[in-house]
């Protein structure tokens, strides 16, 4: 790999002499746009990342280099030396690409990104988010047809199942937020937990008092032990692959039994 490692030494903002040592170019974003100024790139102007008045944005710091890394050498030898690229065609490791995002977006649920299902599988942030596309900067509707399945990740989630038979099927008008999306139940940036469940199903003494003795006992134990709701309440919105595979195996074994 050529001098790309040198260019990836600093992904976050830098200033003064330290920035010069790390290879930040003194050129403005115009120098980048002269070569990379197509419609796809210029979409960033319609996003929050381009707000110069906000000191926390890339535009107010090192502009393009805030995310794509120090580009002094790339500007001098553009065909020989890359800066940081994002997406499936990037030669940079997923954790290197994601660190460029987490350098600014590491608070809240994203503090637990590494132990989330997406973090564990090394999914790249740019697979779902694009700071150059105002429609994909924050995917608003993570439904079966936009976001979660459109990229091919969960395309076979439903299989041959009828979505209408599930009480929490995506698109139904349930809960305080109205129409359900994948993100209504799943936290894409953190580990599995029950916070999204209890938003709609709070386990208050009043609610527990209306449940059967058996249900109340189970819920009280689950609350004390921190057991996630989904451990018991499965397949509310879609089939679960391990369960489907287990059922298929059991069916095959039953068919072979004398």
DSSP assignment of 152-221 equals SSSTTSSTT--GGGSTT-TT-B-STTSB--HHHH--TTS---SHHHHHHS---HHHHHTS-HHHHHHHHH
Say what the pLDDT of residue 97 is: 93
What does DSSP assign to residue 143?
B
Q: Which of 188, 196, 205 is nearest to 148 (CA)?
A: 188
Percentage, residues of the chain above pLDDT 70? 83
Q: Do 89 and 217 belong together in one domain?
A: no
* Count: domains in the chain: 2
Task: Please say which residue of 103, 138, 173 terminates a domain.
Answer: 138
Q: Do 122 and 241 belong together in one domain?
A: no
What range defines the domain where residue 198 resides?
Answer: 140-258
Which tokens hold the place of 196?
């999204």
Q: Do 117 and 148 belong together in one domain?
A: no
Q: Do 55 and 125 belong together in one domain?
A: yes
pLDDT tens for 62-107 read 898 999 988 888 888 888 888 888 988 888 899 999 999 998 888 8
Band of residue 20 on the pLDDT scale cut at 50, 70, 90: very low
Mean pLDDT of the 224-241 span = 84
End-to-end CA distance of the chain: 61
Q: Do 64 and 166 belong together in one domain?
A: no
Phi, psi of 100 (to 5 degrees): -65, -35
Q: Which stretches of the chain are assigned E, i.e. beta strand? A: none
Report the predicted TM-score, pTM, of the whole model to 2 decimal places: 0.69
Task: Please say which residue of 83, 118, 138 terminates a domain.
Answer: 138
Say what the pLDDT of residue 14 is: 36
Contacts of 155 (CB under 8 A, 6+ apart): 149
């Amino acid at each position: 790999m050529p001098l790309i490692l040198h260019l990836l030494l600093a992904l976050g903002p830098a200033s003064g002499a330290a920035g010069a040592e790390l290879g930040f170019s003194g050129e403005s974003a115009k120098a980048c746009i002269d070569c990379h100024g197509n419609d796809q790139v210029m979409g960033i102007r319609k996003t929050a990342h381009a707000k110069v008045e906000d000191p926390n944005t890339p535009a107010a710091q090192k502009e393009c280099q805030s995310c794509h890394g120090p580009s002094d050498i790339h500007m001098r030898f553009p065909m020989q030396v890359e800066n940081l690229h994002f997406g499936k065609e990037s030669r940079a490791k997923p954790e290197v690409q994601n660190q460029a995002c987490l350098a600014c977006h590491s608070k809240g649920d994203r503090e637990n990104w590494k132990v989330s299902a997406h973090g564990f599988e090394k999914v790249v942030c740019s697979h779902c988010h694009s700071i150059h596309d105002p429609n994909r900067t924050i995917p608003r509707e993570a439904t079966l047809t936009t976001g979660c399945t459109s990229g091919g990740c969960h395309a076979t989630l439903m299989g041959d199942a009828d979505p209408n038979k599930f009480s929490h099927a995506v698109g139904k008008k349930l809960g305080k937020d109205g129409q359900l999306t994948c993100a209504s139940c799943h936290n894409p940036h953190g580990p599995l937990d029950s916070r999204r469940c209890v938003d709609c199903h709070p386990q208050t003494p009043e609610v527990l008092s209306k449940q059967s003795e058996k249900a109340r006992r189970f819920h009280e134990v689950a609350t004390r032990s921190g057991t996630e709701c989904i451990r018991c309440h499965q397949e509310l919105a879609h089939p679960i692959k391990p369960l489907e595979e287990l059922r298929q195996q059991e069916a095959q074994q039953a068919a072979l039994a004398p």
